[in-house]
Amino acid sequence: MVIKMKFFNREKEINEILHILNKEPDDIYFIYGPLNSGKTILINHIITKKLDKKYIPFYINFRRRAIINVDNFIECLFEVDEKSKIDDFREYAKSLADLLVKGSKELSNYYLGMPKNFFEKKEKSGDIYQYIEYLFAELNKKGKIPILIFDELQMIKELTLNGKRPLLKSLFQFLVSLTKEQHLCHVFCLTSDSLFAEYVYNTGELGGRAKYLLVDDFDKETALKFMDFIAKENNIKLSDEEKELVYSYVGGKVKDIKYVVEESKFKNLKEILEIILKEEKQKLKYFLEDVKEKDDELYKNIIDALKIFKEKYEVEDISIPKKVREFLIKKNILFLNPIEGTLKPQSFLIWNAIKKVIK
């Protein structure tokens, strides 16, 4: 993974995750939050800057590949070792554990390795989970603690084994075995899909076995400090009035703040903010137009739902009918916090667009 910008703040979240890592592995942790709130950057910062040598992190991002079947899932999990001639997966796990402990540059520490011949006959080789379990057990024997990180886990939500059993259920059972039962490794699952977080939270699949960490947009105080940080990095001067103006348009969304402040070095700040707001308004108008064309009743219900946000940024989830709120969440108009039971626009920009477009 590559850090696109210098890391800023998140000390609370960093300390919480480091506290988890210092304990015996016992739960699956879901790190969730709005789009572009910094979940991936946070976990990247921790595994590259904050861990000592006793930890071995494995990072898998399911968004990087099109995953339409179980084969794709397996391909996403493993980095194939083209050179290995080892036939027995147990022997390979031992050799890979040795390489990882030594910090070998031959294999990336962020991916699980698998010998080519084992990968090619994976359908006949039994449960691939057995291989991962054996590898992690070998690392434990060597005094190492694996950290298994799944980014955008919701991408495999619809996959099934043999067209019947949900792959996700099988994966969760395996992760529970790794953590709650055997204490072999820490597991973190990242998602920006709040409906997926709700699904996991409410289905009972992981009752008593999972905990949830919210990585939200910055609050106002932190957002203003972040503006100073970005401005200093780019030799830009921002007055207090200009920072307040930026916040009134984009709130605490890290990506939006970074874009606006950097662009202000060459362009008028007010014009930048107006342009990105116009873009958001147009997207919302076209979205509503499409809905109205397909389903006039749903359109009216959506308008009624969005009117609630003309005066409030955050509301109770059940204040909007389930069908309507789920539709707006799927379209990334609203963000659901299933643990708190609240809804809010995915960003301040969307909130401002709602206030401008909805009459």
Considering the domain architecture, whether residues 58 and 160 belong to the same structural domain is answered as yes
Considering the domain architecture, whether residues 39 and 21 belong to the same structural domain is answered as yes
Considering the domain architecture, whether residues 15 and 127 belong to the same structural domain is answered as yes
Domain C-terminal end among 214, 248, 277:
214
Task: Report d(CA 243, CA 247) in Å as an integer.
Answer: 6
Task: Report d(CA 23, CA 47) in Å as an integer.
Answer: 16
Domain contains 1: no
**HEC per residue, the chain:** CCCCCCCCCCHHHHHHHHHHHCCCCCCEEEEECCCCCCHHHHHHHHHHHHCCCCEEEEEEEHHHCCCCCHHHHHHHHEEEECCCCCCCHHHHHHHHHHHHHHCCCCCCCCCEEEEHHHHHCCCCCCCHHHHHHHHHHHHHHCCCEEEEEEECHHHHCCCEECCCEEHHHHHHHHHHHHHHHCCCCEEEEEECCHHHHHHHHHHCCCCCCEEEEECCCCCHHHHHHHHHHHHHHCCCCCCHHHHHHHHHHHCCCHHHHHHHHHHCCCCCHHHHHHHHHHHHHHHHHHHHHHHHHHCHHHHHHHHHHHHHHHCCCCEEHHHCCHHHHHHHHHCCCEEEECCCCEEEECCHHHHHHHHHHCC
Residue range of the domain that includes 330: 220-357
Considering the domain architecture, whether residues 210 and 225 belong to the same structural domain is answered as no
Domain C-terminal end among 198, 214, 230:
214
Considering the domain architecture, whether residues 161 and 61 belong to the same structural domain is answered as yes
pLDDT at res. 180: 93
- CATH code (residue 346): 1.10.10.10
Considering the domain architecture, whether residues 155 and 15 belong to the same structural domain is answered as yes
pLDDT digit string, tens, across residues 291-334: 999 999 999 999 999 999 999 999 999 999 999 999 999 999 99
The structural domain count of the chain equals 2
pLDDT at res. 1: 36
pLDDT at res. 107: 52
Domain contains 2: no
Domain contains 235: yes
Considering the domain architecture, whether residues 138 and 230 belong to the same structural domain is answered as no
The phi, psi pair for 136, rounded to 5°, reads -65, -35
For the chain, how many residues are written?
359
- Whole-model pTM: value is 0.89
Domain C-terminal end among 164, 192, 214:
214
pLDDT digit string, tens, across residues 271-294: 999 999 999 999 999 999 999 999
pLDDT at res. 104: 59
Domain contains 6: no
Where the chain has pLDDT below 50, the residues are: 1-5, 124-126
